[in-house]
């Protein structure tokens, strides 16, 4: 009995380890409501009370970009602090930012500006932890047409806008110029041309794949292919919409590339670092990726001569790519929302500053007037992305979308690529599991 | 007699004083959170603004949660491969290195080294070793004329690959535990066995193995707990893929709680996990206990 007791005790300990993160946070949220909150934001309280007396208001800006990204943020923050003397912003790097924000949102100590992965908006906005900015926009006469509409849509919920886009990105087709020249093919503009090019570019040596014509590593790009085939991921009433002719045509296309033309081998790219990236080392002729890879690829500029074209169009001429990116939002818990808005407006709705940000970070800003600058307009690397962004669409704004995609769809697509399921079976199962996940995660209020 | 009693009382009081800090910490950081999590598992808590009592709704939802059961099947499969191999290999190495001799310390250190590496760093190196085209593992197999699989990208080899990597990392620590166990086996038993004419296998079977029972119990229990809580290696090596073949309960719980903000449901999942660890540990205890007394 004594032994059972000690085993039970051990079990409690294990349960605690499993739950510690969750409960620790919750504990803090419960007890820190009054004491902690006041303490951690004491500095900014001081700022507020004496703001009228000439002392600047201090704002906290949370983000989870460290290293280079942190320097880029700090460049912008310093520029803003120098531009005026009423507001001082401080960037605070937060590991595991979202978890910390959850605590801060309920217990006080909330930041004033938050770096925001836009797709999270539909999950967080209904919980009233973000502050809508429509009033500020109207008051200051900021035109919504100056921003990418899809990016604003992703930052909106229930007719209210919750932030402005900081970056916009979409995937386009990167190709190795040297390999394409050797094989005598032009960068593809349609699925047929893509298939033809990939076939010609692939080189096998017995059982060993030496050069892959086209990467099929990421079945998570299904959404993009589906758009190109003329489909959409989910219906208006929140059900999956890919178990149909459009979905099948995507899988058939993959099947042809992988099993008939043998342009790729599953696992070919897995586990290789930056220096051994198969595209860098010339072992992969074409693949889809986004502007975030430009600086890496330019670093290997001497050996790697590459070009970019917008994603090839599907069988009926439909074009598609998925728009993603980040924004800045104001948490409802901020004590200085006006000043936070000043900062966001200065950074994201001003041509010069948006351009400074773009040049500092090598990102495409969400503010369109900045893109007219020669830095973007005359650059062969940026142009295909700007063209892609014209037709790129955000992920569906269903709070359960990402779970549906990651747990319902992708596993079945992987089974299909592995040869364990037929195309029909894979889509059938993905629909069944996906619909359930959408339903279970739909309620967020 | 009465002075004995008062001494006993005094001792007891001192003992309570000594254990108070530990018990306090244990209560604050373990007991209270667990009780709260139990409560939360009956609510729709979302961390931000709701916490309504929902009764057994979370547990009812669990029953139909295919993905959760899939992750349990994954870790059970992992445990079935991992635990026997872990015991066999670490015991074998311990037996080999349980002697005085030139270089033994060097080998002991070498066997223990992988344990000191961070799980994530080690997994990153293995990621590269297991690469289908350029990895060392498949290159070696290539010399034997075998075309190695895409270890981490195929549904049938992904979990065995993770078993391989975690074994490499954990046999060192278990070897040390077994070494300690082996040093505790009295020499006279072997001497007696030799006099009776027992061969080496017999003296292992009838002396070493039974004497090591408590050690094996410790190692197997820790392995069971480790298996059910598998996370880092699976996360770095395969991110739960391909096709959820290596997704584990801990990962799913984290995702449900912090990404989907369904902390109530995640707490219910965590309780099922804790309960299953309890069940398997008791089972293990019964099996270890069944033929002989120990500890």
Instruction: Write out pLDDT tens, residues A338-380.
Output: 999 999 999 999 999 999 999 999 999 999 999 999 999 888 9
Chains A–B, number of C-beta pairs less than 8 Å apart = 166
In this structure, the answer to whether residues B22 and B152 fall within a common structural domain is no
Domain residues for the domain of B137 are: 57-291
In this predicted structure, the answer to whether residue B100 has a pLDDT above a threshold of 90 is: no
Whether A266 sits inside 8 A of B154 (CB atoms) is yes
Does residue A171 surpass a pLDDT of 80?
A: yes
Confidence of residue A26 (pLDDT cuts 50, 70, 90): very low
Task: Answer whether 0.95 is exceeded by the pTM.
Answer: no
Question: Taking CB atoms and an 8 Å limit, are A22 and B131 in contact across chains?
Answer: no
Q: Which of A167-181, A422-436, B78-92, B113-127 has the lowest mean pLDDT?
A: B113-127
Residue pair A226/A246 in contact by the 8 Å Cβ criterion: yes
Q: List CB contacts (< 8 A) between A404 and chain B.
A: none
Chain A partners within 8 Å of B255 (Cβ): 403
Percent of chain B's residues with pLDDT above 70: 97
The CATH number for B95's domain is 1.10.3720.10
The predicted structure's pLDDT at residue A312? 97
Q: Cβ(A331)–Cβ(A111) under 8 Å?
A: yes
Whether chain A has a CB inside 8 Å of the CB on B117: the answer is no
Average pLDDT, chain A: 86
Domain tally for chain B?
2
User: What pLDDT score was predicted for residue A46?
Assistant: 39
Are the C-beta atoms of residues B174 and B219 closer than 8 Å to each other?
yes
**Fold that domain A172-323+397-440 belongs to in CATH:** D-Maltodextrin-Binding Protein; domain 2 (3.40.190)
pLDDT at A258: 95
Would you call A271 and B130 a contact, using CB atoms and an 8 Å cutoff? Answer: yes
Given 2.40.420.20, 3.40.50.2300, 3.40.50.800, 3.40.190.10, which CATH number is that of A46-169+325-394? 3.40.190.10
Contact (Cβ atoms closer than 8 angstroms) between residue A234 and residue A438 = yes
Decide if B252 is inside a domain.
Answer: yes
Cα–chain center distance at A238: 21
pLDDT level of residue A13 (50, 70, 90 thresholds): very low
B49 within a domain of the structure (yes/no): no
Task: Test A23 with B48 for CB contact under 8 angstroms.
Answer: no
Q: What percent of chain B has pLDDT over 90?
A: 54
Same domain, B25 and B131: no
Omega prior to B242 cis, within 30 of 0: yes
Which residues lie closer than 8 Å to A69 by C-beta, 6 or more apart?
A63, A361
Q: Whole-angstrom distance between the N-terminal and C-terminal Cα of chain A?
A: 47
Please indicate, yes or no, whether residues B63 and B92 belong to a single structural domain of this protein.
yes
Three-state DSSP string of chain A: CHHHHHHHHHHHHHHHHHHHHHHHHHHHHHHCCCHHHHHHCHHHHHHHHCHHHCCCEEEEEEECCCHHHHHHHHHHHHHHHHHCCCEEEEEEECCCHHHHHHHHHHHCCCCCEEEEEHHHHHHHHHHCCECCCHHHHHHCCCCHHHECHHHHHHCEECCEECEEECCEECCEEEEEHHHHHHHCCCCCCEHHHHHHHHHHHCEEECCEEEEEEECCCCHHHHHHHHHHCCCCCECCCCCECCCCHHHHHHHHHHHHHHHHCCCCCCCCCCCCCHHHCCCCCCCEEEEEECHHHHHHHHHCCCCCCEEEECCCECCCCCCCCEEECEEEECECCCCCHHHHHHHHHHHHCCHHHHHHHHHHHCCECCEHHHHHCHHHHCCCCCHHHHHHHHHCEECCCCCCHHHHHHHHHHHHHHHHHCCCCCHHHHHHHHHHHHHHHHHHCCCCC
What's the whole-number mean pLDDT along residues B129-153? 87
Q: What is the pLDDT of residue B147?
A: 82
pLDDT value at residue B99: 83
Q: What digits encode the pLDDT tens for the residues B173-195?
A: 999 999 999 999 999 999 999 99
A23: nearest CB among B37, B50, B147: B37
Question: Is the domain of B15 the same as that of B68?
Answer: no
Per-residue pLDDT at B294 exceeds 50: no
Residues of B in contact with A123 (CB under 8 A): 260-261
* Contacts A273 to B, Cβ<8 Å: 128
**Using 50, 70 and 90 to split pLDDT, how confident is the model at B46?**
confident
Note whether residue B47 is domain-resident.
no
ipTM over 0.85: no
- Domain membership flag for residue B52: no
- pLDDT score at A393: 95
Quote the pLDDT of residue B25.
Answer: 95
- Looking at the structure, tell me whether residues B182 and B125 fall in a common domain: yes
Q: What is the pLDDT of residues A222-279, one digit of tens each?
A: 999 999 999 999 999 999 999 999 999 999 999 999 999 999 988 888 766 656 788 9
Write out pLDDT tens, residues A410-444: 999 999 998 999 999 999 999 999 999 999 888 77
Nearest to B273 by CA among B295, B254, B290: B254
In a domain, B48, yes or no: no
Residues B34 and B87 in one domain: no
Contact list, B152 vs chain A (CB under 8 Å): 267, 270-271
Q: Are residues B34 and B80 in the same domain?
A: no
User: A114: which strand partners?
Assistant: A62, A329
Q: Is B152 on the interface with A (CB under 8 A)?
A: yes
Residue B238 has pLDDT above 50, yes or no: yes
pLDDT digits (tens, 9 = 90+) for A77-115: 999 999 999 999 999 999 889 889 988 888 888 999 999
A402/B259 Cβ within 8 A: yes
Q: Please tell me the predicted confidence (pLDDT) of residue B18.
A: 93
> Is B187 part of a structural domain of the chain?
yes
* Domain locations in chain A as residue ranges: 46-169+325-394, 172-323+397-440
Please tell me if the domain spanning A46-169+325-394 has the same topology as the one spanning A172-323+397-440.
yes
Q: Output the CA–CA distances (angstroms, integers) from residue A310 to A321, A372, A383, B116, in the order listed.
A: 9, 19, 9, 47
Same-domain status, B110 and B146: yes
Check CB contact under 8 Å for A418 and B278: no
H or E element at residue B140: helix B136-143
Query: Would you say A375 and A383 are in contact if contact means Cβ atoms under 8 Å apart?
Result: no
Determine whether the interchain pair A128/B49 forms a contact, defined as Cβ–Cβ distance below 8 Å.
yes
Q: Does B162 touch chain A (CB under 8 A)?
A: no
Q: For residue A18, give the nearest of B36, B40, B270 by CB distance.
A: B270
Contact A411, A425 (CB under 8 A): no
The residue-averaged pLDDT of A167-184 equals: 95
Q: What is the mean pLDDT of residues B275-292?
A: 83
Residue A195 has pLDDT above 50, yes or no: yes
Query: What local confidence, expressed as pLDDT, does residue A60 receive?
Result: 95
Instruction: Count the Cβ atoms, other than its own, within 10 Å of residue B82.
Output: 24
Q: Do residues B229 and B273 both lie within one domain?
A: yes
Interface test with B, best of A5, A19, A97, A219 (most B CBs within 10 A): A19
Of A12, A102, A418, the CB nearest to B242: A418
Same-domain pairing of B111 and B199: yes
In-domain check, residue B46: no
- Nearest Cα of chain A lies from the Cα of B191 at a distance, in angstroms, of 34
> Which residues in chain B touch residue A25, judged by CB atoms under 8 angstroms apart?
47
Q: Are residues B63 and B192 part of one domain? A: yes
Give yes or no: residues B153 and B283 share one domain.
yes
The pair of three-digit structure tokens given for residue A129, joined into one six-digit string: 């932890």
Q: Is the predicted pLDDT of residue B162 greater than 80, yes or no?
A: yes
3-state SS, residue B53: strand
The pair of three-digit structure tokens given for residue A409, joined into one six-digit string = 């769809």
Question: Is the pLDDT at B1 greater than 60, yes or no?
Answer: no
Which two structure tokens, joined as six digits, stand for B157?
A: 């080899």
Stretch among A38-42, B33-37, B156-160 having the lowest mean pLDDT:
A38-42
Total residues belonging to chain B: 295
**A338 is written with which tokens?**
């006006």
């Amino acid at each position: 009995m004594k032994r059972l007791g000690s085993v039970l005790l051990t079990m409690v300990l294990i349960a605690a380890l499993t739950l510690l993160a969750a409960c620790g946070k919750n504990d803090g949220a419960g007890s820190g409501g009054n004491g902690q909150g006041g303490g951690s934001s004491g500095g900014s309280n001081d700022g507020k009370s004496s703001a009228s007396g000439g002392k600047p208001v201090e704002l906290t800006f949370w983000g989870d970009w460290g290293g280079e990204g942190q320097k880029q943020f700090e460049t912008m923050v310093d520029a803003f602090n120098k531009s005026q003397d009423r507001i001082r912003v401080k960037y605070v790097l937060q590991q595991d930012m979202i978890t910390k924000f959850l605590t801060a949102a309920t217990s006080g100590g909330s930041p004033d500006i938050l770096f925001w992965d836009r797709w999270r908006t539909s999950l967080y906005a209904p919980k009233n932890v973000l502050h809508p900015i429509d009033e500020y926009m109207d008051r200051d006469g900021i035109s919504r047409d100056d921003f990418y509409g899809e990016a604003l849509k992703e930052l909106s919920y229930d007719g209210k806008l919750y932030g402005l886009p900081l970056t916009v990105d979409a995937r386009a087709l990167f190709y190795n110029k040297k390999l394409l020249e050797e094989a005598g093919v032009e960068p593809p503009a349609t699925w047929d041309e893509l298939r033809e090019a990939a076939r010609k570019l692939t080189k096998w040596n017995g059982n060993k794949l030496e050069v892959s014509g086209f990467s099929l590593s990421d079945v998570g790009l299904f959404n993009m292919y589906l758009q190109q085939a003329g489909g959409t991921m989910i219906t208006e009433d929140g059900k999956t919409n890919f178990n149909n002719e459009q979905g099948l045509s995507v899988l058939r296309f993959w099947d042809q590339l992988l099993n008939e033309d043998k342009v790729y081998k599953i696992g070919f790219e897995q586990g290789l670092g930056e220096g051994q990236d198969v595209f860098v080392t010339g072992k992969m002729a074409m693949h889809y990726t986004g502007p975030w890879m430009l600086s890496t690829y330019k670093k290997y500029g001497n050996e790697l001569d590459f070009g970019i074209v917008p994603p090839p169009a599907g069988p009926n001429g439909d074009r598609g790519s998925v728009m993603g990116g980040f924004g800045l939002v104001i948490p409802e818990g901020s004590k200085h929302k006006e000043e936070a808005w000043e900062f966001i407006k200065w950074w994201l709705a001003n041509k010069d500053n948006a351009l400074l940000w773009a040049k500092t970070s090598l990102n495409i800003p969400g503010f369109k007037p900045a893109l007219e600058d020669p830095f973007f307009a005359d650059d062969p690397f940026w142009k295909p992305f700007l063209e892609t962004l014209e037709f790129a669409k955000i992920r569906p704004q269903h709070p359960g979308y990402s779970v549906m995609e990651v747990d319902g769809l992708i596993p079945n697509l992987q089974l299909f690529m592995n040869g364990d399921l037929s195309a029909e079976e894979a889509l059938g199962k993905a629909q069944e599991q996906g619909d359930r996940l959408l339903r279970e995660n739909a309620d967020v209020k | 007699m009465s002075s004995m009693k008062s001494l006993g009382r005094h001792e007891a009081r001192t003992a309570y004083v000594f254990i108070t800090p530990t018990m306090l910490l244990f209560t604050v950081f373990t007991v209270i959170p667990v009780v709260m999590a139990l409560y939360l598992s009956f609510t729709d808590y979302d961390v931000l603004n709701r916490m309504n009592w929902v009764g057994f709704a979370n547990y009812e939802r669990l029953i139909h949660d295919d993905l959760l059961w899939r992750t349990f099947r994954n870790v059970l499969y992992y445990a079935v491969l991992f635990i026997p191999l872990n015991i066999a290999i670490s015991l074998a190495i311990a037996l080999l290195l349980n002697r005085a001799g030139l270089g033994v310390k060097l080998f002991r250190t070498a066997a223990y080294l992988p344990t000191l590496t961070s799980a994530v760093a080690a997994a990153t190196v293995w990621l590269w070793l297991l690469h289908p085209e350029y990895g060392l593992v498949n290159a070696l197999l290539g010399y034997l004329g075998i075309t190695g699989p895409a270890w981490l990208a195929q549904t049938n080899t992904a979990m065995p690959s993770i078993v391989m990597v975690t074994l490499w990392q954990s046999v060192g620590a278990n070897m040390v535990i077994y070494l300690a166990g082996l040093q505790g086996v009295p020499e006279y038993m072997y001497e007696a066995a030799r006099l009776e004419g027992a061969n080496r296998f017999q003296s292992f079977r009838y002396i070493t193995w039974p004497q090591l029972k408590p050690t094996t119990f410790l190692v197997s229990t820790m392995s069971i707990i480790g298996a059910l809580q598998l996370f880092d290696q699976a996360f770095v090596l395969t991110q739960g893929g391909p096709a959820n073949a290596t997704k584990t309960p801990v990962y799913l719980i984290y995702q449900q709680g912090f990404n989907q903000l369904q902390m109530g449901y995640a707490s219910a999942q965590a309780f099922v996990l804790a309960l299953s660890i309890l069940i398997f540990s008791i089972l293990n205890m019964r099996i270890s206990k069944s033929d002989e007394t120990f500890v």
